[in-house]
Structure 1
């Protein structure tokens, strides 16, 4: 049973289907959504799914190479297919007061539609101001880059965060195709960008911010968030 102290968790997914103007498919990295959501739900909390435009959420086909039985079971569930992939909420459908955390899932697609989504920034800021958590994994950090506090400081300024690294972009073969590097943009905004060996599980908490480095860090972000929730139960 969900604690009355903890509201729902809002998971943000991309609507972007290709790398900018290149005819190469991308989208949500499936495991970053399913692995996180499963841990949150198994802990007794409820998730909703939102995207910058609402509606259909494409999958990065490369992410399907890294599925296991757990990911596939969640992916094939009617709930995930209907509420996440086919009918994600639009920002205007979301009341941030109903959520105790927001989680930005990754996949390269987010680099095109997360950074400049002002409606999502407002939702995240309100959740943060309500003492909720702002969290992300991998490229999902793109959603945090331009969130500003009322004093006009960036939310991530002087905060320890992590995300997909330049060396990981090199290993992924996407260094020349991405519009920016997460570490560069985060540091421009005053963040303290933390990282470990490429593709190793790594999550960082700095107050109400919880971030994970790469696709293999989604579970670590979820477990860290649940641990914080349980302190409030």
Structure 2
């Protein structure tokens, strides 16, 4: 059976302010829907394990997919209340890893060496690395087999500077996602703000914004040869 590892943030505010943030729920549910329908087994992990905070702003955009999973107690328990810790993960168990987004990821994804090693191992074993929106910052510490940044020279997308500005958060984030991807040597591409955009570079697959999570999930399922 194909198995996926989904990575979520534990950060619940825009430090040093007290403005709440966390996971953007749709970036989990819209991707997970495609895993669920394709029969992919999924585990959930976060840098600290346990509780995953939700960005309250994301709850204003719920659709039927979001509500279907948010009202499923078993799903909520595994994905939002009791995520695994990195040290509980055996990378050889997984065919793909997916980094969800939400602004909280900007604080705890880039600094987590354990998750980066898990992702690198999955990739070196022939698996897929995927990420969406701000979750693409989880790609920054991942190294290839030669000790180089995995995304260097690869085509990726992620939350744009324009989208950050339109969101009104440019002045409260620690850095701009578009900028750090370019700084790491990635071939960064983008399209119209808040439209579904996915980029595929071999087994590295990325989505630009929250609207891209479902398309990214579909793309990953197709790459796995599943329906």
User: TM class by shorter-chain length?
Assistant: over 0.9
- 2:83 corresponds to: 88
Deviations 1:171-198 (A, max 9, x none): 1000000111111111111100010010
Greater shift, 111-120 or 79-88, is seen at 79-88
TM-score, scaled to structure 2: 0.98
Residues 206 and 216, structure 2, Cα contact 8 Å, conserved in 1 = yes
1:145 aligns with 2:145: no
1:57 aligns with 2:52: yes
1:106 aligns with 2:101: yes
1:31 aligns with 2:26: yes
Q: Distance in 1 between matches of 2:97 and 2:156?
A: 15
The structural deviation recorded for 1:150 is: 3.3
Superposed CA RMSD: 1.1
Deviations 1:139-197 (A, max 9, x none): 00010012112322100000000000000000100000011111111111110001001
- 1:215 corresponds to: 210
- 2:181 corresponds to: 186
- 2:221 corresponds to: 226
2:197 to 183, 199, 202: 202
- 1:9 corresponds to: 4
Deviations 1:116-135 (A, max 9, x none): 10000010000000100000
- 1:67 corresponds to: 62
After TM superposition, the structure 1 = structure 2 runs for residues 115-134 of structure 1, keeping only pairs within 5 Å, are 115-134=110-129
TM-score, scaled to structure 1: 0.95
Greater shift, 155-164 or 181-190, is seen at 181-190
Q: Distance in 1 between matches of 2:181 and 2:65?
A: 32
Number of equivalent positions: 227
SS in 1 for 2:225: helix
